[in-house]
Structure 1
Amino acid sequence: MLRMLILILVPVACLLPPGTGAGEIICGHEAKPHSRPYMAYLEIRQGNKRYTCGGFLVSKNFVLTAAHCNGDSITVLLGAHNINKQEQSQQWIRVCRPIPHWKYNRETLNNDIMLLQLERAVALNRNISVIPLPPSGQKVRPGTVCSVAGWGRTNSWNNETSPTLQEVDLKVQDNEACWNVPCLRPSYYNPLTMICAGDRHRCQNSFQGDSGGPLVCEGKAQGIVSWGSPFGIPPSVYTRVATFIPWIHEMMKRSQSGDHLGIGGQTSGVAQL
């Protein structure tokens, strides 16, 4: 019955407008409070619009997220479990400089990665800490069980979001899995810069509302929630962090020394999660 319902709804999902798919946690559960102390909640303002994304702390001064989570101004919340409460562990910090990858393409979402330089250094403690990044070029084997978390919507049927951090386990797939999914654009999937994760036979997935959060594999941030089916059908696509390790280190070094970064991005347009 569920399989028949999915088959009926897939054509409808493919007609949804750009921007309606990625980042929400589907079929997950509430995370243990502060068990993911690297998680960041982003409040973004773009003109008169406000929206949210996820991210993760990679140093005292920098948060990593997706390039499509950029805006006119960004504020980061760290140390949170319930974003609707004023918890003692929370730290709000403004972003003084967003650094999207200079080859980010808004149409294909290739190179969908962005560093956020914080206005001040974070006070690290048991509720706020950095997550390790993988070695440059490291590959994640298909079949590896990873996890993703966020504060986005908890299903694809309504716009309700979760005030508490939700998490779900996902299995990394062969690249072919993201070349053969309804509504995904196979020509956009680039195995050099992207990871395919999520079993098409299960409901667990990341989706709308928490783009930019980390795909965590064996304790390292191997991916960034990027894009997928606008209806939340797995698998979804994650930016491959290991590909960008040299860029991350170079941008952090240059930004802290005050060098001009030459940041930008190719302007076209794509449906992100």
Structure 2
Amino acid sequence: MAAALILLTFLLPLGAGAEEIIGGHEVKPHSRPYMAFISFVKDEGTSGLCGGFLVKENFVLTAAHCRGSSMSVILGAHNISIREKTQQIIPVAKAIPHPDYNPNDDSSDIMLFKLERKAKRTRAVRPLRLHKSNFHVKPGDVCYVAGWGMLDPMGKFPDTLHAVELRVQRDQVCESRFPHRYNKATAICVGDPKIKRASFTGDSGGPLVCKNRAAGIVSFGPKNGSAPCVFTRVSSFLSWIEEMMKRS
């Protein structure tokens, strides 16, 4: 079932609700062992895909708008068009979106997946640590995003994992671009508008990695593949993440 759904993901067109990598490059295989490839079925019956990242052996963090039915997670992947020996395919036992998530403005766009079983730690599968609540990214900080999304707005979806280097922007940049949608208390503005590098359609839920820890989650951005994009600020939700993992 899981393998069939993964194949279906690449045969059917994808709509809005996933973010992709623009202006990036293919990464060294398994150099980001925390990455998760998430496949699911949307409410209208079409297939969807998102990114995510392992934060504990049996928990994956992603975006709340990545919720659907028949959800499955692939860990330890580089080329998702083949069944690599490093891959661990694990169904989602429980999806836990943040209770304040609003699909109209994508506020509190964060969700935990409890997996049906614990992932086995290997060189290709390892959790990503979260920043502490007192850590804040600053304008000018250089961070990284990875995903299996399209390489340009009119291009195709790659089989292999790609990454892009992005610079954190001032909150005012996103406040002017996304009025009434950007909340600096719970979001991060990322990506230089002058440079063609951004997250876009194909890998929502992937981590914004700053100083080797997860600082943000890909949420939304312009429909033309330009920057800046909006990321959920992980440090604003640490107490909720910890409580949900303990309770589940």
TM-score, normalization by structure 2? 0.92
- How many angstroms apart in 1 are the aligned matches of 2:121 and 2:226? 37
- 3-state SS, counterpart of residue 238 of structure 2: helix
Aligned residue for 2:8? none
Name the aligned partner's letter for residue 42 of structure 2. Q
Identity, % of aligned positions: 51
CA distance in 1, matches of 2:56, 2:18: 26
1:59-74 correspondence to structure 2 within 5 Å: 59-74=56-71
Deviation of the 1:180 alpha carbon: 2.6
Please tell me the root mean square deviation across aligned C-alpha atoms, in Å.
Answer: 1.1
Amino acid at match of 1:124: R
Trace 1:118-267 onto structure 2 (pairs within 5 A). Answer: 118-158=115-155, 160-181=156-177, 185-255=178-248
The answer as to whether partners of 1:54 and 1:210 remain within 8 angstroms in 2 is: yes
Higher relative contact order (CA 8 A, sep 6+): 1
Instruction: Summarize deviations over 1:46-71 as a string: whole Å, max 9, x none.
Output: 34211100000000010000000001
TM-score (norm 1): 0.83
Shift of 1:104: 0.4
Q: Radius of gyration: which is bigger?
A: 1
Deviations 1:225-248 (A, max 9, x none): 000111111000000000000000
2:241 and 2:111 map into 1 onto residues whose CA distance is 9
Distance 2:19 2:48 in 1: 12
Unpaired runs of 5+ in structure 1?
1-18, 256-273
- Runs (4+) of structure 1 exceeding 3 A deviation are 19-22
Instruction: Provide the rounded CA distance (Å) in 1 between the counterparts of 2:42 and 2:27.
Output: 30
Partner secondary structure for residue 44 of structure 1:
strand
Distance 1:103 1:131 in 2: 24
Q: How does 1:27-66 map to 2 (within 5 A)?
A: 27-47=23-43, 48-66=45-63
Structure 2 spans left out of the alignment, 5+ residues: 1-14
Aligned residues: 233
CA distance in 1, matches of 2:162, 2:136: 26
